[in-house]
Amino acid sequence: METKGTEFLYSSRRNNKQRFDKRLIAHIVDLAEQGVPRRDLVNDYGMSPGTLIDWIAKYGSGIAKHKRYTAGEKRSVIRAIKAGMSVKQAQIAFKISYPSVIRG
């Protein structure tokens, strides 16, 4: 049986108490980061939603983590709003995902 570059073989679990293969965990986390719905991953691979969340936090690339804004960036946004820019315009101009980040 040939395996493609994206396919791999891993040991199957005999029961729910047995641990997942590390390569499989990395593959599942990669799928989650690519946008596969978490519910589908939980159903397909048989783990709990909490386990998947823990794996993403532990083994994920960090792409999904919240962006941190420096004090300078925050001051720039506040200055722009005080100068007459709307919150929506500032959100677009400074690439801020949610208006609640500005309103705080």
Largest separation between any pair of C-alpha atoms in the chain: 66
pLDDT along the chain (104 residues), means of 10: 52 73 90 90 91 90 70 91 93 84 72
Q: What's the pLDDT at 1?
A: 42
Spatial separation of the C-alpha atoms in residues 24 and 9, rounded to whole Å: 9
Domain ranges in the chain?
A: 22-59, 71-98
- Helix 38-45, helix 22-34: angle, nearest 10: 150
pLDDT the model gives residue 63: 61
